[in-house]
């Protein structure tokens, strides 16, 4: 029985000692800085971009070909008379120009046009319209080659 008391006492001491050690460890652990995982949220940059101005693309018309057909309103021997008549037509809103063709038939005359065309069909249609108008029955068509 004595042995039993000693054994029981030893067990109790072991339990008390073991329990005390556990408390000591947890106390020691509480003194240490606690390491915790810090989860950082990803930084989301502003995804809305300001639209950069798009370059303006201007459609450039190809240069118009030179006129080949001209409605002639008058023909003059003197350049000064041709220039005066041209100024009068421009004043009336026409795209007039003085055409000089040295050599060839009527090369010595300055022709004054009041309208020019690149397209043959348009030129002949306008010639018919002009000849049907009052006061323009002497209009004729000059074709540049």
Report pLDDT digits (tens) over 35-82: 666 667 666 665 666 677 778 888 888 887 888 999 999 999 999 999
- pTM to 2 decimal places: 0.54
CB 114 within 8 A of CB 97: no
Instruction: Map out the domains of the chain with their CATH numbers.
Output: 69-143 (3.30.70.1070)
Distances (CA, A) of 40 to 45, 47, 64, 104: 15, 20, 67, 93
* pLDDT at residue 7 is higher than 90: no
pLDDT of residue 44: 61
Backbone angles phi, psi at 139, to 5 degrees: -70, 140
Whose tokens are 């030179």? That residue is 66
* pLDDT at residue 4 is higher than 70: no
């Amino acid at each position: 029985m004595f042995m039993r008391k000693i054994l029981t006492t030893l067990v109790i001491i072991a339990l008390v000692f073991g329990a005390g050690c556990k408390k000591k460890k947890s106390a020691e652990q509480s003194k240490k800085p606690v390491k915790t995982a810090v989860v950082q949220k990803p930084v989301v940059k502003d995804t809305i971009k300001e639209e950069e101005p798009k370059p303006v693309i201007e459609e450039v018309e190809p240069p118009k070909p030179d006129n080949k057909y001209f409605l002639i309103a008058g023909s003059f021997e003197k350049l000064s008379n041709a220039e005066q008549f041209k100024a009068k037509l421009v004043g009336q809103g026409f795209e007039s120009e003085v055409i000089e063709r040295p050599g060839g038939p009527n090369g010595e005359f300055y022709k004054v046009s009041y309208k020019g065309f690149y397209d043959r069909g348009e030129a002949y249609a306008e010639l018919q319209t002009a000849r049907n108008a009052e006061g323009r029955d002497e209009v004729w068509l000059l074709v540049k080659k």
